[in-house]
Amino acid sequence: MRSLSVVFLALLAGLGMADTAMAAGGADVLQQQCSSCHALTKPADASLDRLWERKGPDLYYAGVKFNREWLEAWLQNPTTIRPGGVMYAKAIKASADKTADTIDTGKLTPHVKLGKADSAAAADALMKLGADLNLVQKGAFKNGSPGPMAKMLFSKLRGCSSCHSAKGGDGGRSGPELGDAGSRLQPDFMVAYINNPQKFDPHIWMPTLGLTDADVQKLTGYLLTLKHTEAQ
């Protein structure tokens, strides 16, 4: 009797989850549960204040940025991407001599988790955002093999690792971790972003570095190899 009711409850819970997504639809999930922190349409206000005050990264071009499978999985089991939060300057605890600033992780709150059906619906809705904005050129990534210098470009020659870690905390913390960039991001997006971050946000603190196309292709090729699938 007891085990039967457990099965029954599990069934109910399963149905309940599927129901929310079906009744609400992905666009409604985004509107109701996500829009308080994330811009789902291009903000009219592109000021520095807006960047400073926003509670989460912009999602209005999610459809040209993320891989759908990554979205669906991450929304069910979110992990930290920006070790200093969405605005790292707010989480910095300065040390007396400024040489050993640390991040106040107490200021970071865990991300909302979605069930399976809601994640799938939200991922579908997110993949519809941004295609019409002309931010990313289809086919911009051409180079399949990054070559032996690519890692060096990232870590030493072009200074990317002063803001980004490529693997498990080894690198700067003011930009998103790129240790699973290959699973998370579309290659054409990476090319567009590395070329001109300010096209995505006029006040974002990643510099436009004026790299040659060959370097951008190599860097993107390198980032594509970074995936969290196998144990590190």
Footprint on this chain of ligand HEC (rule: CB under 6 A): 29-30, 33-34, 36-38, 55-57, 71, 75, 80-82, 86, 111-112, 114, 122, 158-160, 162-164, 174-176, 190, 193-194, 204-207, 209, 219
99 contacts: CB under 8 Å, gap ≥ 6: none
Indicate the DSSP class of residue 104: -
Which CB, 11 or 102, lies closer to ligand HEC? 102
* Least distance in angstroms from the C-beta of 232 to ligand HEC: 18
* Least distance in angstroms from the C-beta of 3 to ligand HEC: 34
Exposed/middle/buried for residue 154 (C-beta within 10 Å: 0-12, 13-18, 19+): buried
Which CB, 102 or 105, lies closer to ligand HEC? 105
Distance CA 175, CA 165 (A): 8
* Least distance in angstroms from the C-beta of 190 to ligand HEC: 4
* Least distance in angstroms from the C-beta of 220 to ligand HEC: 8
User: Following CA atoms 218, 221, 223, 229 in sequence, which dihedral angle do they give, to the nearest 10 degrees?
Assistant: -160
* Least distance in angstroms from the C-beta of 229 to ligand HEC: 18
| 3-state secondary structure at position 171 | strand
Which CB, 12 or 112, lies closer to ligand HEC? 112
Which CB, 7 or 81, lies closer to ligand HEC? 81
Distance CA 90, CA 121 (A): 33
Instruction: Pull the structure tokens for residue 26.
Output: 């992905």
